[in-house]
Amino acid sequence: MSLVKEIIWGNRPVPSHLEFKYAMLRGEFSLIIMTVGIFYTVLDSLNGVMVFLPWYALMIAMCLVSMMLNRRGHYTISTVIILIIINFLIYIFADVDHPDGGVFFYFMTSTMAGLILLSYYHSKAGLLFAFLPIAMGYLAYFFDLNLIPAPVYHINMITINFLSNFTISLLATVFMLQFLLNRNNESEQSLIQQNQLLEKANKELDHFVYSVSHDLRAPLSSILGLTNVYNLAKDDKEKSEMVKMIHERALSLDKFIREVLDYSRNARVELRVQPVNVRQIIDEVIHSLLFMQGAEEVTINLLVDPTLEVNTDKERIKVVLSNIIGNAFYYRDSNKKPRIDIESFVKDGNWLISVKDNGIGIKKEHLGRIFDMFYKAHDRAQGTGLGLYIVKETLQRLRGEIEVESEFGVGTAFMIKIVQN
């Protein structure tokens, strides 16, 4: 399958699962037609039937053109070319072939191909190419135009052609029916998942509204209280301390609002998959976190190939890494020399990222809930409890998953895996 994918799709990122499925179907259908053309070229050559050979060559050449256009993303013209050429050639063969040769079976296959391959993009064009083979079948049956000379077959050759045409057209039809069944199953599964997500969203919305109102009011109330104390303060040093505390509360409020925006953006903005340099994006994240208090004390060990590139959504992966690495900064152990080890590589079609620290760690009883919305595993946590929840939700959009291992007082390790194929 990987070789077929490489031939049909290439190394392009996959912007849409549905687009990828139809592109693969179109390419696989072209490969089937090419194989049929090669098969009949060999069969006719062995039996001394030369009249169809130039048309087989045309069929193979046009399939190659269609596959090239499909690979470059020109889906509609690729589909139209392949449908026109197979309808025309089936008509040519049916017009002059022996009535018992079975060429007419291919009109049924062509009808289904037109309906499936074009209806997703252009429903009217799909219907046109679905009915075109029917009209051409009747034309070939009732009118002998003899556009090319009729071949001369041995009686055994007629039987072989009938069995071959019947088998190939039936298998091609089954292949496309299987695609439709898979699409229907995927649609049903998608509907089930959407309903489950809707139930989850409704539950989380109630929790979200309550927690957001609380976490917004807390720093605002604190700021309001501090401003009143500031107005009553006489000493400049006391006022300076009040301003510092107001600034800290404002930063906390700003961080919370940014987390809410990250959560909202992940839920409503479509994926923008593109090639990104892994080392560069990690460097950007680390640089953005250097303002954190005590960041200068932390030693960061990067084990990442500077040339490593992956296909992902750059903004989403920055959100994931910012939260994971930011936590490693924040929950450092002041009794140790803080250290963060970051490793990343691609293995077996998966992009793997490991972030390990020697910080304060997480108690065992909290490990199962740290990715829950608004859950805080540490007494010293001053955040909202949204960060790791956003990480989990974002990775789900990226077809990824995350695992955590931690020992309280020793350190924590997060392992991220994102599918690349």
pLDDT digits (tens, 9 = 90+) for 330-360: 888 888 899 999 999 999 889 999 999 999 9
Average pLDDT over residues 67-71: 90
Domains of the chain and CATH, by start: 2-191 (no CATH), 276-419 (3.30.565.10)
Average pLDDT over residues 372-379: 68
pLDDT tier, 64 (very low <50, low <70, confident <90, very high otherwise) = very high
Burial of residue 192 (number of CB atoms within 10 Å: 0-12, 13-18, 19+): exposed
Q: What is the pLDDT of residues 399-412, one digit of tens each?
A: 899 999 999 989 99
The CA distances from residue 105 to 85, 162, 188, 340, 409, in Å, are: 16, 9, 32, 66, 73
Query: Is the dihedral angle over the CA atoms 272, 278, 284, 290 positive or is it negative?
Result: positive
- What is the chain's mean pLDDT, rounded? 83
pLDDT of residue 216: 61
Question: 380 phi and psi, to 5 degrees?
Answer: -80, -5
pLDDT of residue 270: 76
pLDDT tier, 62 (very low <50, low <70, confident <90, very high otherwise) = very high
Q: What is the pLDDT of residues 97-121, one digit of tens each?
A: 877 888 888 898 888 888 888 877 7
pTM: 0.49
pLDDT of residue 345: 93
E strand or H helix that includes residue 55: helix 53-71
Q: Which tokens sit at 315?
A: 């903004």
pLDDT of residue 379: 57
The CA distances from residue 339 to 211, 288, 364, 411, in Å, are: 33, 18, 22, 10
pLDDT of residue 76: 87
Q: CA–CA separation, 347 vs 64, rounded Å?
A: 32
pLDDT tier, 212 (very low <50, low <70, confident <90, very high otherwise) = low
pLDDT of residue 263: 66
Average pLDDT over residues 248-263: 69
Top-confidence residue, 317 or 252: 317
User: Integer distance in angstroms from the first to the last C-alpha of the chain?
Assistant: 11
Q: Which of 217, 224, 226 is nearest to 253 (CA)?
A: 217
Average pLDDT over residues 299-323: 90
Top-confidence residue, 232 or 194: 194
Q: CA–CA separation, 55 vs 150, rounded Å?
A: 13
Q: CA–CA separation, 105 vs 38, rounded Å?
A: 19
Q: Which of 404, 215, 248, 396 is nearest to 327 (CA)?
A: 404
